[in-house]
Structures are given as structure tokens and as C-alpha cells.
Structure 1
Amino acid sequence: MNGEEVVLSLDEGTTGATAIAVGIDGEVRGKGYEEIAQHYPRPGWVEHDATDIWSAVQTSVRQALDAAGAKPSDVRAVGITNQRETLVLWDKETMQPISRAIVWQDRRTADECTRLRAAGHEHRVREITGLVLDPYFTATKYAWALKHIEGAGEAAAGTVDSWLIARLSSGRDHVTDASNASRTLLFAISSGEWSDEMAELFGVSLRNLPRIADSSGHISTTDPDAFLGIQAPIAGVAGDQQAALFGQACTKDGMAKNTYGTGSFVLMQTGKRRVASGAGMLTTVAWRRAGELSYALEGAIFITGAALQWLRDGLGIIASAGEAGPLAASVPDAGGVFLVPAFVGLGAPHWDPYARGTIVGLTRGSGRAQLVRAAVESMAYQTRDVIDAMERDTGQRLTELRVDGGAAVMDVLCQLQADLLGIPVRRPRQTETTALGAAFLAGLGAGLWTDADLARLWKLDREFEPTLSRDQADALQSRWRQAVERSRSWERPEEALPDNQ
């Protein structure tokens, strides 16, 4: 093999598509990025145009290959990682979406989840799927689509990975991996198959859902006529947070990572153990390799980095997200200001779809820097809430936290995270570990790497040691939790969607 050969990783996120070309030595040779438009047709609704997603993926791939000086024939394997839970519906013949995709952040089915919970279904749903009844997951989105979108009953249905594989293979393959399937509320986490019982509960059919495959191995093959002249095996697929866990080399029981992206997602590897949470965590599939499932506990925080986008786009307080770190670091603290970014409700450990964004503690001395710092600090406070809950569930104390995602470049965030948790926070040299995880899965699946290579592929950039006393950290966290309580149950269910649609 020569240095020109690459593994191509497609990372289709909530705000844009990233592609990286990874050399056989595990180093990133080239990167591309293309933003995708967000659509908010009603309060609480979030949609994407699936055609925009496909276009953005192709654009980012062209950029990555150009930056790497690689040709289509140099691509040895393709990995895919994606925003999870988002529902895409498309015509099986024309390969065109029949409606906009319903994004994971979308809350239009909050009332339906409340109804199912009131009917006593939550325990059984948790038992079968490892998840909770929340609009976040795919099943209630699919049920809504079957009632409200013409042609949904005959359309191919899947998450974003399935949509991309369908396009990459010119419609030949309708497939997903176990990690993405486990996020739908339609997957039996013990057997690793679609659940007839859950399909009946949610009122959906399984016949148009994809086949479930391993996360690493031969999954499909790209059609060069459909995909920029690239013909290569699709050999790695995982939901974005599971891919980040793999990219962080958290393959041993008890290792954990947090990805600071649009939202933040803490995952703790539990190996073959399915840990049932009593503290608002999700039990999820980490990946499936050689037919064997590995599990993880997950805490899903809906809004972290997106709060900085709101400060930029909604309020105009910053011109770019890159300003947030220096501005937050320009003041010693937030001056008593707490920003709870519950713009689409609260995820773990609260699971309150009726919470709404709240800012408390404002004074005349509060300015741009304090507000930006409060937004940055909210990422660390929410992460500690989740990790505290995970430690209660597992009876294990974390010894370190590995961090990644766009906001992990902020030293001020990583230091506060270490201070609040009281453990080292370790940031790798490559913070795009989501895309790297998909590349590693693909490289392993195509036989380019072995498991023994994984540890050497992860490289430390910086370790942040805690500097606050536990009493100081606990006092800050206590004030944060007071602010969270102010945001809870703000919107009444009957006000959320006036026409109940």
C-alpha cells in the first residue's frame, strides 16, 4: 500500500456534513465541510431537506479528496457516521425524499409520548429498547409521518445512514447498523432485531425499515456512477456518538467520552453488560462486530454547542462560534449568570420536553462576556449532571473523561469540566473523533487495520487536571441545578401544539 490510499469517512451531522480522508497510518490527510440548512416550520419542529444532506455530503467529499491530493481510485473503504434518530422517507424507485426529514431535535410528538407514558407503557418500552418515551427517538416521528405525510406508508424509511447508503449504492441496498437501529424505539436491545411488539405499540410497520447489519465489515458497495467515481466497500457504519466512542478508543468497560457538538453526548462503555438505568440514562448499543453486541450507557444533552449558534444567529452577540472561547476566558466567571439552554426541552437526566430556555442571575454588570461564558459553562454543568447519574447506575467512578467535538478546542471549557468532575479531562490531538471512529470501523471492516492498531491511532493533545476543591465544585453545581428547576415544565402540554399535530 502507498501513502496515497485513504479511508473516506462521511460524518453527516445536524448542522453540516464533514468528510475526512484518513491515511493508512491513521493520520487525517484532508477534510471537507458543507453546512446544511435548518428549517423550523413551527415552534418545536426541526426539519432538514434530505436532498441537501446528500448534496452536502458530496461537496464535503470533493473537498476532502482535493485536500488530500487523492483520486477516487485511492479510496480503499468508506465509513459513515450520522446524526441519529432523524427520520428520512424516500421513494424507492425515484430515490427522491417524499418530505423533509424530521430531525432528532423535533418535539412535535411530545403529547403522544405523554399519552403513551400515562397509559403505562414506559416500563415495557425501557425493558425492550433501553430507551425512554421521548419525541427524540424515531418511532413516534414515523407514526406521525404515517398519519400526516402522503405516501409515507409505501416509502422507504430509515435514519440518515440508511438514506446515504441508498444513495451511495444507487438504491441497491436498504440497510442500517445495529447502533443506529438501537436509537429508533423499534429495536429489541437484547436480541438485536426489530421488535414486532414495539411496532404494534407505536402503530408503525416494519416492512419498509432497513436490514440491520454489523457496524464493521462488508455492509454495501458504492456505485461510482452515483458517487463521484468512487467504487469502494462501505465497511463501517455507526451513529455519531457511538462512532465517537470508538474513535476515542473507549473499548474497555468503564471508559467514557463526551462529544461537545450541537448537543453533548456522554457515553460510557459497558461491554457485554446491559446496564438498566434508574437515573435517566439510556441503555444503547455501542456497536455490533462479528455479530456480537457491545453496549453503552448514554446521557443525551440536547443543546450545548447550539447555544453558541443561538448567541451568534439569534442575538448577534458573537460574529462566529470561534469567538466564544476567548470571550468566555476573558472573565474569571459568569458573574452569577446561568443559562439553561432548554430550547427544545431537556434530555438526560431530566427528560422534560416542556422545559424551555432560561437565563437567571442577570444584573447591570452582566455583559457579552458573562452571557457567552454562561453558555460555555452550561455545557460543563449539564455534563456533570449526566456523569453523576451514570456513576449511580454503574456503581463505578470514572477515572478520566475523554472529550471531543467542536467545543472541546476551548481550554476554558475543558478546565471547568475537570474542575466540576474532579477527574482529568483528556483531549486527543484529533477532536474530529466522530469521523475518525467511522474511519476506524471501516478500516477494520475492510481489513486495513487490526484491533491492536486502535490504541496507537489515539493520540493525546492535552490533559486538564482539576483545580477546584470538591466543596467549591459542588456549590457551583448546586446553583446550576436551581437554575434548571426554573426552566422545568415551563410550557404546558396543551400549548405546545395547538392543533395537536
Structure 2
Amino acid sequence: MAGGNKRAATTGTEEPQPIPKKQIIDNGSSVQLDEKKLRQFYIGSIDQGTTSTRFIIFDGTGKPVASHQIEFTQQYPHSGWHEHDPLEIITSVEQCIERATELFIDQGHDISDIKAVGITNQRETTVVWDTNTGEPLHNAIAWPDTRTKGLVRELKARDGADALHDICGLPLSTYPSSVKLVWLLKNVDAVREAYDEGRLSFGTMDTWLLYKLNGGKERDIHVTDATNASRTMFMNLHTVEYDDKLLGFFQLDRKKVNLPNIVPSSSPDAFGALSTGRLKGVRITGCLGDQSAALVGQQGFSPGSAKNTYGTGCFLLYNVGEKPVISKHGLLATIAYDFGGKRKPVYALEGSIAVAGSGVKFLMNNLGFITHSHKISDLAASVDDNGGCVFVTAFSGLFAPYWIDDAKGTIFGITQHTERGHIARATLEATCFQTKAILDAMELDSGHKLAELAVDGGMSNSNLCMQTQANIIGIPVDRPAMRETTSLGAAIAAGFAVGIWKEFDELKEINQLDRMIFKPNVSKEESAKMFKKWGRAVEMCRGWLATDEANGENDF
């Protein structure tokens, strides 16, 4: 969108208008849904995200009927550090459950109508606690945290580093839980002492939630689902079990650290039940990492289907079927979902973008450009294009497919002509460009070109952003009317376990009404020109940090 060429469909105050997606009456399914019956069953969904916690109650048709959301404290003790208080997060979950349930009861429903609860969570975020007391030993280290830059460089030089990717599907970076745990062991005395004495419990956020919601030490539920386990670098992607070679590489003794048991994402008994509150005794029967949950919520059950979630970060998952595809082009291989029983785990290729909605928050909180996140579209639409600005939002380096850890956020092309609106546009475009880079890599890895992209998450609310996305990737963008697909995915996993749904065919009509399609409205040549300029900006920001800075020596 550089240059100054005006296109009425995407510029000025004229908001882009998507095309309604026609409802498919005959979807080839032989399953006849009893909607009247399904509306009598309800499932609760805990959505524990990076910046907020939600609890949403869905009926059996996938319609949300009650919800509550609470934002919690983001802690940044030093440059590049990002932490959460594990106890504050538990409190936020419990409060959301109580308040959403109150709304549910006020509507005339009975608590007994809620048949199960599912959990979806921010992934990679690492929690450690004392096995004997159940108390956390340190703040949770959040997934975007980059304090481990120096450690990652050391690990990459260690013998065996090159073999890890083929085993676990993840590259060595600041992203996975493994390096966060190793950092804690090296730098926090209380964590090291607990490890040496064999009383250190480790988990990602799902494990911590399940442990505490079940009553903590009393019931000692210590589990994780396969999607979350696949983000630790401790699990063999092919066997779906912890791998001694991986643990050995990180110099971890399994006798000294309590790792959660790996279970399917949908299970009637593995996750226990809520131990307190209005929903005491209700079983927790589903658990999925947030991006896997969004793929399930978008009904991405067929190989070749894909979704992109525009949240704090941006995450594109592409279903590759029942065998993992180890990327040769900078992507992650991960478990998409595992519904247990006689079903095999389903795998995905994933591209992870560290900064999406957090870039909008940066403009709002740090620079004062806007007063509310949803105002970003209005500001971006106040100008015809980006005015020549390109914003590489490398606040935490760049994730897939670049994996550049020595970059920082950089704005190119600023002149006296530059206005806030130009930077707002460039911020939205940064996520769209990185999505294009990921799709290109997925096409190379899979051998197939995506026909359309299903989207959800906060930034997908912006028509301007989604039209820009369609223009940059050159394929239609498909947006649902109900965009709580992450929460819906956790509800679907929980519902499967208790028999509300039994086959994937039964889900084909869920959340399909009033979907909108954004079709590209610029030429392929113009799109390629925009992407080439972005690529030049990425290369120019590479190596911004000197070696000692990239190693973290100046971070604290």
C-alpha cells in the first residue's frame, strides 16, 4: 500500500465491505442434527490467554449464551522479560467462572445443564511450583519472553542441537518452554533447590490451571494434553511421549523434575473436576493449547484446512493429517489435536508471529495514538496508504519463518509527510506480511497452495486489516460472525468427551452462519511489490543487536 495510489475499496474513510458467504445447505453430511436437543446441553470454556481470562458458556449448537472476561497484570521486570503471577491467573479464572455462571442462572438455566468444562490456554508459558506445598516458586515466564536469547545461542552450539528439530518439530529459540525452565534452574535459587531435592513441579499454563482447579496438592492432578506438550521441546512428536534424548540435551533428570502426564485433548476422566465454586463437581473433559483450539473451533478437521488467529501474537495452523511434517522452511511441526479413543493424533504445520494485537496495544499504551484497540482501523483509514512506511514489529525478534533473534522493532520510510495513520497502517500490514511469508513456507513444505484462509481473533474484527490480508496473500479471507473460535474449540473437545457430539460431521454447521469473505482487490504485481519491500525491511533490521546485547548482557 505504499506510494499514494488511491483505491476506493481500501482507503480513506470508506471501510472495505466483505461479501457474505453463502450458506451451504447440502454439506454432504448424512448426520441430522437435533438442534432443539442440542440447545438443552451446555459446556463451559475457560480461555486463559496472554492478557486476559474468559469463561464462556456455549450451548450444543456452538452459540455462546453467557460470558465474563478479566484482564490481569502484565509484568515486564527488565527489557525483553514478560511475566505473569500464577496465583493472579487462578483468581481470574475462578472469578470468570463465578460471574459467567451467575449470568447463566439469571437467564433461567440450571447449573446441572452444564455438562462439562473445557480449557484452552496460552502455550509455552512456563510455571514451576513446589510439589510438597503446591505454591509457585517464581512468576510464570510468558511465551513472548526473550531473556533466554544468550542461553539459546549456547544451546545451539551444544552437541546434538541439530537433531532436535526432527524429534520434536520445534527449532531452538526463546519460544518453547524448555529454555525457560533451563533459565529458571540456572538463575533462581529456589527453583534449583527444589530440583536438587526432587520437589520441582513443571507445567505449561494448562497444567497449572488443572492442578489448582482440582484443589492443588490434595488431588494432585498433574497432566497436560498432547497439543501443549508438543510445545515444550520435551515431547517426541512421533511417539507423543517424553523423549530421553530431548531431556538429556537440556541436562534434565526426570527423577528431579515432576513432568505432567501427557493425555489426549478430549477425555472423560483425565482432567478431573472443578473443586470449588458454583460449578463444583463439574468435570473438566477437554484441554487444548489456544491455537489448536482455534483450529478445532474453525472445524479445521480435514488435511489442507488452515486458520489464522490474530491475538496478542498471530498463529497460522495448517492441518497436515495423521503424520507429522517436519518443516524445511522455518515452520513449526505440532500436534493439532488428539481426541483420543480410536482416533490418531492429528498434526499441523504452524507459523508463529510474536507481535499482532500487541503491536496495536503498543500504539495505544506506549505512543498514545488511540484510546481503544478497536480504533486502530479508523486511524489507519484516515490516510490513503502507508505513506511509504514499513514497520517491522520485531519487539521479541522475529518468529516464523525468519527466526531472527537479533532484530528489534524498526520503522522504515519515515519522512515529514508521515502521520499517525501511516504508522497505524504499517502496524496492521506487518502482521499481514508475516502471514504471507508463513503461507509461502507452508506451500513449500506441504506442496499445496491454500485456497482460502479462515481467520479469527481481535484484529480480524478490522475490515481494513482483513482486506489488506486478502490483498497481500492473494486468496480469499473467510471470517466467521462469532469469532470466539478458540473458546469454542475447547468446548468442542469437552463436548466430545461426554457425548454431546460423537462425530466431526456433526460440527460442520456450527458457526457457519453469516460468515464473510474478503476477496483480493489489487493486482498480483502490486501485491508482490508490497511484499518485496517488506522483505527488504526485514533484511535491514537483521543484526541490529550486537553479539553481547543479543546474548542478554545488557538486559538487566
Provide the TM-score with structure 1 as the length reference: 0.96
Change (3 A) 1:325 1:68: farther
SS in structure 2 of the partner of residue 77 of structure 1: strand
2:146 aligned residue = 107
- The alpha carbon displacement at 1:499 in A equals 7.4
CA distance in 1, matches of 2:86, 2:42: 27
Is the aligned partner of 1:30 residue 2:66? yes
Is the aligned partner of 1:454 residue 2:507? yes
Is the aligned partner of 1:162 residue 2:204? no
1:260 aligned residue = 310
SS in structure 2 of the partner of residue 81 of structure 1: strand
Q: For residues 394-405 of structure 1, what are the structure 2 equivalents within 5 Å? A: 394-405=446-457
CA distance in 2, matches of 1:94, 1:17: 25
1:126 aligned residue = 165
CA distance in 2, matches of 1:499, 1:318: 32
1:322 aligned residue = 374
Change (3 A) 1:162 1:220: same
2:271 aligned residue = 220
Deviations 1:17-52 (A, max 9, x none): 111100122210012111111111111111100011
Deviations 1:4-26 (A, max 9, x none): 64200011010111111001222
SS in structure 2 of the partner of residue 457 of structure 1: coil
Q: Is the 8 A contact 1:267 1:299 kept in 2?
A: yes
Greater shift, 118-127 or 321-330, is seen at 118-127
CA distance in 1, matches of 2:499, 2:151: 45
1:209 aligned residue = 259
1:481 aligned residue = 535
| Residue among 165, 182, 194 paired with 2:230 | 182
Q: What amino acid is the match of 2:402?
A: H
Q: What amino acid is the match of 1:222?
A: A
Change (3 A) 1:8 1:370: same
- The alpha carbon displacement at 1:269 in A equals 0.2
CA distance in 2, matches of 1:228, 1:156: 29
Q: Is the 8 A contact 2:306 2:318 kept in 1?
A: yes
CA distance in 1, matches of 2:253, 2:397: 28
2:297 aligned residue = 247
Change (3 A) 1:435 1:121: same
- The alpha carbon displacement at 1:155 in A equals 2.4
- The alpha carbon displacement at 1:122 in A equals 3.6
CA distance in 2, matches of 1:71, 1:200: 51
CA distance in 1, matches of 2:458, 2:501: 27
Change (3 A) 1:499 1:474: closer
How many percent of aligned residue pairs carry the same amino acid?
39
Larger Rg computed on CA atoms: 2
Structure with more contact order per residue of length (Cα contacts < 8 Å, sep ≥ 6): 2
Greater shift, 63-72 or 315-324, is seen at 63-72
1:97 aligned residue = 136
Which sections of structure 1, spanning at least 5 residues, go unmatched?
none
Q: Is the 8 A contact 1:48 1:100 kept in 2?
A: yes
Q: Is the 8 A contact 1:33 1:63 kept in 2?
A: no
Change (3 A) 1:214 1:227: farther
SS in structure 1 of the partner of residue 509 of structure 2: helix
Q: For residues 244-323 of structure 1, what are the structure 2 equivalents within 5 Å? A: 244-290=294-340, 292-323=344-375
- The alpha carbon displacement at 1:346 in A equals 0.6
Paired residues in the alignment total: 500
CA distance in 1, matches of 2:476, 2:272: 41
Provide the TM-score with structure 2 as the length reference: 0.87
CA distance in 1, matches of 2:265, 2:362: 34
Is the aligned partner of 1:199 residue 2:251? no
Q: What amino acid is the match of 2:43?
A: V
1:463 aligned residue = 517
- The alpha carbon displacement at 1:446 in A equals 1.4
1:498 aligned residue = 553
Which sections of structure 2, spanning at least 5 residues, go unmatched?
1-36
SS in structure 2 of the partner of residue 126 of structure 1: helix
- The alpha carbon displacement at 1:116 in A equals 2.0
- The alpha carbon displacement at 1:227 in A equals 4.1
Deviations 1:195-220 (A, max 9, x none): 11111111223340100000012222
- The alpha carbon displacement at 1:293 in A equals 1.3
